[in-house]
Amino acid sequence: MLIVEDQDQMRRMLREYLQSAYADAIILEAADGAYGLELCRSQCPQLVLMDVGLPDANGIDLTAQVREMLPETAIIVVSQHAAQAYVERARAAGASAYIRKDRAYRELLPAINLALDGTLSRPTEGDPQ
């Protein structure tokens, strides 16, 4: 898994949440789009969590680039933007899902499981959904 998120606190929260749900998963992190693309090229992650507002790139544009480079990789956009236009653009770019950051704890794990169609082990019993 790869988290592309410029906010340190949000990136750490996502990493800890995913690690608690998928204990065996390798979780990589990038604070900007350039490093995110570099990690996609070198590591070919199964899943990318992509922020929209990155310091050096637009996450929706990066979603399209990753989709072209790694068509089998699931991409979930996780953003603070609530406007439907963002959701539509993310879907058109190839995102499997679009989740607002304020809904991440409730919606992220089900979206990951749906996007990966069970290719990762399910969250461990008792973990927050």
Predicted TM-score (pTM) of the model is 0.88
Q: How confident is the model at residue 125 (pLDDT cuts 50, 70, 90)?
A: very low
Q: How far apart are CA 112 and CA 126, in angstroms?
A: 17
pLDDT in tens, 78-124: 999 989 999 999 999 999 999 999 999 999 999 999 998 855 544 43
pLDDT in tens, 60-76: 999 999 999 999 999 99
The pair of structure tokens assigned to 43 is: 């590591």
**What 8-state DSSP symbol labels residue 53?**
B
User: Distance of CA 22 to CAs 1, 17, 40, 65, Å?
Assistant: 10, 9, 20, 26
Q: How far apart are CA 80 and CA 99, in angstroms?
A: 8
Instruction: Give the domains, in start order, of the chain with CATH numbers.
Output: 16-47+56-116 (3.40.50.2300)
At CA 87, angle to CA 4 and CA 30, rounded to 5?
5
